């Protein structure tokens, strides 16, 4: 006999809302929380599990052709900022896949969201087949962006790099194929053939045929102040004069990520954006790493730059990634598409994260993001003061010295020891990992320690334990 169905309910909705499904999900969540109660601090590897981890690492190196940065293979379990590895060890995860996991590991709300998403018919959604959550995800981003800018449309894709590829295509089409792009020194754009050429890291494009024409501007230098703005505007004027009507976009990370968590005041960007706009050059804001981590959801909102932005890209903590653009930049049919846009679980968890960010008190001068950075800053300043031998002056691009050892904003945190030595910071990162803290580096000389903690779940008081471990790791390094 045919299944009886409420006239206002699909079979899919009835299945996902059934009492049996609800009971199974609640049972899983209860078991998760019981197990999480046993994971509350850093711990060393356990017995024979060390060999299990080494076996996995060997397999990973064999299949890829080289080993990874760290001996990391997860067990698939954690508790907030703490993650368990396959050898049973537990570590503070303060990099989170370079900022992907804002709510850390095994967050009950996200686990529940993924369980429910797994009940849908599509593992991957794309341009041809998609369900309701992909539309809701794009609408949420569009509506939040539109509240503080002219952005009107959203194209969803499966990585930050592909979001940037989409942005470049939109800008090129709008400017009738203008061949050049203006970017900032020390920027990072992704690792596709094109994005690796725009990004200002030579090692990431070694052996790649160079066919993208990029003009670099100096980023803001706090030591130079207003002179830094004048220098960048002067350089922009030279490019506009030398290559009239040849630039498809000026792309800016409002806070540089890979380049060193470098920040700039509003007036720096206003001066550049106004000159670029006057020359007919579109403004593209790359927020792949900054999105969600500052004192507003979009960084352009915090700096009140929305009126200048033509295209913006977001990713990482959103799980699925996106390119947003104004109505004037809405591309012609066929320019943007994709067999895969993201998985059903990525859309569901991404939407849950966005809603939690909006309603969870993360933003504003006294929001959770600002509070967590302030806790980091206080611990870091005290750490520097207690160990001046580990913090010699840093060289600057203009040949001077800087003693700004602690920098960043919100969930983007930087500490600069050893005079920015790449070799010493590399050794330190390995010692930190062994001792129980996962971090990363940024910058191109000087180099820095980079932290992207799970700001959705990490508590300010937890930095005390982190810095106690860091003290041991620093001592080992020197």
Pair (29, 48) in one structural domain? yes
Pair (215, 304) in one structural domain? yes
Q: Is 165 helix (H, G, I), strand (E, B) or coil?
A: helix
How many whole angstroms separate alpha carbon 99 and alpha carbon 316? Answer: 6
- Going by pLDDT thresholds of 50, 70 and 90, the confidence category of residue 397 is confident
Q: What is the pLDDT of residues 127-144, one digit of tens each?
A: 999 999 999 999 999 999
Q: Is residue 1 part of a domain?
A: no
How many whole angstroms separate alpha carbon 156 and alpha carbon 141? Answer: 10
Pair (226, 254) in one structural domain? yes
**Which residues are bridge partners to 161 per DSSP?**
none
Q: Looking at residues 110-136, what average pLDDT do you find?
A: 96
Pair (185, 302) in one structural domain? yes
Cβ distance 293 to 261 under 8 Å?
no
Strands 311-314 and 283-287: parallel
* 47 vs 101 pLDDT, higher one: 101
Q: What is the pLDDT of residue 150?
A: 98
Q: Looking at residues 45-67, what average pLDDT do you find?
A: 93
Token reading at 97? 């896949």
* End position of a domain, from candidates 304, 325, 359: 359
- Average pLDDT over the chain, rounded to an integer: 96
Q: Is residue 272 part of a domain?
A: yes
Percent of the chain at pLDDT exceeding 90? 95
Q: Is residue 207 part of a domain?
A: yes
Q: Is residue 133 part of a domain?
A: yes
Angle between helices 422-435 and 463-477 (to 10 degrees): 130
Domain of 221 in residue numbering reads as 124-359
- Going by pLDDT thresholds of 50, 70 and 90, the confidence category of residue 48 is confident
Pair (350, 380) in one structural domain? no
- Going by pLDDT thresholds of 50, 70 and 90, the confidence category of residue 400 is confident
Pair (345, 383) in one structural domain? no
Q: What is the pLDDT of residue 69?
A: 87
Pair (149, 99) in one structural domain? no
Q: What is the pLDDT of residue 73?
A: 96
How many whole angstroms separate alpha carbon 232 and alpha carbon 399? Answer: 18
Q: Looking at residues 29-51, what average pLDDT do you find?
A: 95
Q: What is the pLDDT of residue 4?
A: 47
Residue 274 has pLDDT above 70, yes or no: yes
Length of the chain: 478
- The gap from C-alpha 223 to its chain's centroid, in whole angstroms, comes to 27
- The gap from C-alpha 327 to its chain's centroid, in whole angstroms, comes to 26
Q: Is residue 47 part of a domain?
A: yes
Check which CATH number belongs to the domain holding 449 and give it. 3.90.1150.10
Pair (101, 235) in one structural domain? no
Residue 438 has pLDDT above 80, yes or no: yes
- Say which residue the tokens 């293979």 belong to: 73
* End position of a domain, from candidates 342, 359, 376: 359
Q: Looking at residues 424-435, what average pLDDT do you find?
A: 98
Q: What is the pLDDT of residues 165-222, one digit of tens each?
A: 999 999 999 999 999 999 999 999 999 999 999 999 999 999 999 999 999 999 999 9
Q: Is residue 5 part of a domain?
A: no
Q: What is the pLDDT of residue 41?
A: 97
Q: What is the pLDDT of residues 359-383, one digit of tens each?
A: 999 999 999 999 999 999 999 999 9
Angle between helices 108-117 and 19-36 (to 10 degrees): 150
How many whole angstroms separate alpha carbon 33 and alpha carbon 44? Answer: 22
Number of domains in the chain: 3
* End position of a domain, from candidates 359, 391, 408: 359
Q: What is the pLDDT of residue 2?
A: 44
Q: What is the pLDDT of residues 467-477, one digit of tens each?
A: 999 999 999 99
Pair (258, 325) in one structural domain? yes
**Which residues are bridge partners to 413 per DSSP?**
408, 451
Pair (160, 188) in one structural domain? yes
Q: Looking at residues 336-357, what average pLDDT do you find?
A: 96
How many whole angstroms separate alpha carbon 117 and alpha carbon 28? Answer: 15
- The gap from C-alpha 103 to its chain's centroid, in whole angstroms, comes to 13
Pair (282, 250) in one structural domain? yes
Q: What is the pLDDT of residue 1?
A: 41
CB neighbours of 416 closer than 8 A, spacing ≥ 6? 391, 394, 404, 405, 406, 407, 443, 446, 448, 449
Q: What is the pLDDT of residue 7?
A: 58
How many whole angstroms separate alpha carbon 108 and alpha carbon 27? Answer: 12
Q: Is residue 116 part of a domain?
A: no
Q: Is residue 115 part of a domain?
A: no
CB neighbours of 422 closer than 8 A, spacing ≥ 6? 441, 445, 447
How many whole angstroms separate alpha carbon 320 and alpha carbon 340? Answer: 11
Pair (335, 385) in one structural domain? no
Burial, 9: exposed, middle or buried (Cβ in 10 Å; 0-12, 13-18, 19+)? exposed
Check which CATH number belongs to the domain holding 282 and give it. 3.40.640.10
Q: What is the pLDDT of residue 3?
A: 44
């Amino acid at each position: 006999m045919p299944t009886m169905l409420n006239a206002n309910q699909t079979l899919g909705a009835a299945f996902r809302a059934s009492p049996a499904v609800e009971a199974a999900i609640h049972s899983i969540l209860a078991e998760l929380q019981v197990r999480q109660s046993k994971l509350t601090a850093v711990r060393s590897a356990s017995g024979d599990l060390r060999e299990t981890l080494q076996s996995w690492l060997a397999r990973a190196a064999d299949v890829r052709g080289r080993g990874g940065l760290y001996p990391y293979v997860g067990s698939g379990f954690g508790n907030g900022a703490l993650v368990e590895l396959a050898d049973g060890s537990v570590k503070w995860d303060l990099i989170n896949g370079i900022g992907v996991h804002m709510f850390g590991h095994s967050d009950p709300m996200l686990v529940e969201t993924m369980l429910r998403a797994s009940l849908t018919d599509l593992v991957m959604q794309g341009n041809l087949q998609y369900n309701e959550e992909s539309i809701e995800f794009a609408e949420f981003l569009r509506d939040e962006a539109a509240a503080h800018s002219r952005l009107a449309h959203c194209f969803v894709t499966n990585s930050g790099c592909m979001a940037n590829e989409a942005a470049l295509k939109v800008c090129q089409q709008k400017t009738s194929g203008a061949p050049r792009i203006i970017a900032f020194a020390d920027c990072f754009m992704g690792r596709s053939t094109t994005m690796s050429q725009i990004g200002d890291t030579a090692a990431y494009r070694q052996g790649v045929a160079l066919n993208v024409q990029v003009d670099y501007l100096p980023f803001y230098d706090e030591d130079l102040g207003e002179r830094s703005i004048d220098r960048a505007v002067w350089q922009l004027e030279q490019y506009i004069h030398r290559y009239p009507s040849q630039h498809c976009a000026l792309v800016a990370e409002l806070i540089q990520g890979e380049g060193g968590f470098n920040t700039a005041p509003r007036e720096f960007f206003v001066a550049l954006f106004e000159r670029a706009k006057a020359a007919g050059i579109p403004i593209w804001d790359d927020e792949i790493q900054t999105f969600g981590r500052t004192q507003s959801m979009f960084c352009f909102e915090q700096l009140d730059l929305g009126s200048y932005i033509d295209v913006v890209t977001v990713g990482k903590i959103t799980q699925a990634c996106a390119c947003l653009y104004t109505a004037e930049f809405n591309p012609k049919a066929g320019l943007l598409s994709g067999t895969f846009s993201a998985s059903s679980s990525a859309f569901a968890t991404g939407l849950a994260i966005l809603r939690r960010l909006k309603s969870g008190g993360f933003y504003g001068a006294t929001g959770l993001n600002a509070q967590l950075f302030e806790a980091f800053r206080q611990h870091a300043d005290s750490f520097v003061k207690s160990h001046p031998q580990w913090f010699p002056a840093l060289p600057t691009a203009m040949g001077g010295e800087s003693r700004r050892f602690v920098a960043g904003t919100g969930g983007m945190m930087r500490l600069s020891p050893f005079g920015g030595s790449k070799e010493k910071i590399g050794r330190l990162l390995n010692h930190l990992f062994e001792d129980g803290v996962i971090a990363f580096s940024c910058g191109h000389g000087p180099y820095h320690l980079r932290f992207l903690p799970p700001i959705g779940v990490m508590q300010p008081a937890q930095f005390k334990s982190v810095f106690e471990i860091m003290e041991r790791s620093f001592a080992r390094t020197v």
